[in-house]
Chain A
Amino acid sequence: MNKVTNINHATVKERPVTTLDQKPARAEGRKDPWSQLLVKVGKEQDRQAYHSLFEHFAPQLKYYAMANGMASHAEELVQEVFVSIWRRACLYDWQKAAASTWIFTIARNQRIDMLRKMRRTSAEMPVETEDLWQIPGEDDNQPVTSLHRLMSERRVRESLSQLPEDQITVIAKVYMEQKSHQMVADELNIPLGTVKSRVRLALSKLKVILQDQNV
């Protein structure tokens, strides 16, 4: 398992990053059960852990594939994602992303990749899907400290539970059905500005926008 080697010193001093061998000191630094299983798959090729991940995530992934219009390829997508999870698990770094976030990005990329291959013209694409959309933790130059990332998923889940239904609906259409803001507006028969303001309200709850203002 690759440890984080390029954390800058100031950060380390402030908040010691827990390595896999130490007991995490803070609650948010603890691995959630799925991340623990994924680490086992990566370190020990543990098939039982892999099966537990499959049981939990495959039905989610299948819905994801169907919701975004890949119904006829839904099972294929789920399979590809799981093969990819197995092969990449050794790169997974729980300090950089929760397992569910990591798996979501793999699924997203697999979907993009399948669509690209389906409509690829004869011309070779010079840039691969993963050059454009990255899997968290798989690059070397991310000195961003880990606790920030670990907290983010917990915080997202908590904040999301407080959002009104109309905001969640819009976000779900963007993430699950791959609809642009304009398409969401057309479908719900509301103005584009309303869609955008719902998204903005939601994102400010999630602190994605608040962060804008601190720049």
Chain B
Amino acid sequence: MTRHHPDSLSLMEYSAGNLSEPHALCIRLHLDKCTHCRSRVDTLDSLGAVMMEQQPKVSVSETMFDDILAKIDSTPAPEQPAKVVPKISLLQKLLGEDINNLPWKRQLGDVSVLDITEKFPGQKEQVVLQKLVAGGKAPAHTHRGTETTIVLQGAFADQKGVFNQWDFVVLTDQDEHKPVAVGCEDCITLSVLSAPVKLTGTFTRMLNPFIR
């Protein structure tokens, strides 16, 4: 059960379709495991429908309906618009690999990273996977700009609490933290960064996810 959820304003921007793809990915991964937030998004989707209903209407061209029928008749529906039964998870689809078999790059002692920004061509944010070995510590750091993180595996703890799998957390330049991986699994997170991280400890030259 996840305990840290996206805030309502982010869910609203998600429902409106205004988030960037990496941010939408974080929300979507969370929604997959959180019935609570799914029902919030249901309400927000209904809000979108009601807003649309209350706006002005604009008439469409007279031939449009016939054009649509012609289109439907000329292209037979692709056999069952596929109640998409995903054989692989969204993450696997994105990464093309099991998350533990990725070409991780070791950074500081306990921390490995993998930059997957290239999976989101044309998007402005940096997208990074970070792995903290079980029981490992990341150096203290703050964040420039905003970092949105979702826990994909294991759990980490910092001054603010414990973040378990599928928990969602947003850190800003106000937050300095020093995460520790708790539990017996390596902790893997996906972070979307709007600006690089600033280290506050002695490891000032390093870059990495728990550190970005």
Task: Point out residues on A near B: beta carbons under 8 Å.
Answer: 2, 47, 51, 54, 58-64, 66-67, 74-75, 78-79, 82-83, 86-88, 90-91, 97-98, 100-101, 103-105, 107-109, 111-112, 119-121, 123, 125-127, 130-134, 136, 138, 140-144, 148-149, 152-153, 155-157, 160, 171-172, 174-176, 178-181, 196, 199-200, 203, 206-209, 211-212, 215
B83 near A138 (CB under 8 angstroms)?
yes
A-side contacts of B13, CB under 8 Å? 174, 180-181
User: Which chain B residues numbered 1 to 20 have a C-beta less than 8 Å away from chain A?
Assistant: 3, 5, 7-9, 11-18
Interface residues on chain B, number (Cβ under 8 Å):
66
Given contacts A59-B60, A132-B25, A134-B28, contact A212 B7 (CB under 8 A): yes
B38 near A142 (CB under 8 angstroms)?
yes
A-side contacts of B28, CB under 8 Å? 131-134
Give the distance in Å from the alpha carbon of A131 to the alpha carbon of B67 in the complex. Answer: 29
Give the distance in Å from the alpha carbon of A121 to the alpha carbon of B121 in the complex. Answer: 7
B9 near A171 (CB under 8 angstroms)?
no
B-side contacts of A181, CB under 8 Å? 9, 13
A152 near B42 (CB under 8 angstroms)?
yes
B8 near A208 (CB under 8 angstroms)?
yes
What are 11 A-B interface contacts by the 8 Å CB criterion? A51-B65, A83-B72, A87-B72, A101-B46, A121-B122, A149-B42, A172-B51, A196-B9, A208-B8, A211-B36, A215-B36
Chain B proximity of A171: nearest CB distance (Å): 6
Give the distance in Å from the alpha carbon of A126 to the alpha carbon of B21 in the complex. Answer: 11
B93 at the interface (CB under 8 A from A): yes
A79 near B68 (CB under 8 angstroms)?
yes
Task: Give 19 new A-B contacts, CB below 8 A, not counting A59-B60, A79-B67, A208-B43.
Answer: A63-B56, A66-B58, A79-B64, A101-B46, A104-B45, A125-B121, A127-B119, A132-B25, A133-B24, A133-B28, A143-B35, A148-B42, A171-B51, A172-B55, A175-B15, A199-B9, A208-B8, A211-B39, A215-B5
Chain A proximity of B51: nearest CB distance (Å): 5
B53 at the interface (CB under 8 A from A): yes
Most buried by A among B5, B25, B59, B81: B81
A87 near B46 (CB under 8 angstroms)?
no
A-side contacts of B48, CB under 8 Å? 101, 104-105, 108, 175
Chain B proximity of A51: nearest CB distance (Å): 6
A156 near B25 (CB under 8 angstroms)?
no
Give the distance in Å from the alpha carbon of A160 to the alpha carbon of B48 in the complex. Answer: 11
Q: Which of B8, B39, B65, B80 contacts A148 (CB 8 A)?
A: B39
A-side contacts of B119, CB under 8 Å? 126-127
User: Which chain B residues numbered 60 to 77 have a C-beta less than 8 Å away from chain A?
Assistant: 60-61, 64-65, 67-69, 71-72, 77
B96 at the interface (CB under 8 A from A): yes
Give the distance in Å from the alpha carbon of A95 to the alpha carbon of B5 in the complex. Answer: 26
Q: Which of B43, B80, B93 contacts A207 (CB 8 A)?
A: B43
Please name the residue on chain A nearest to B119 by beta carbon.
A126
Q: Which of B3, B50, B69 contacts A160 (CB 8 A)?
A: B50
Q: Sorted from nearest, which 6 A-B pairs have the closest CB atoms?
A: A59-B57, A104-B49, A100-B49, A153-B46, A108-B17, A62-B58
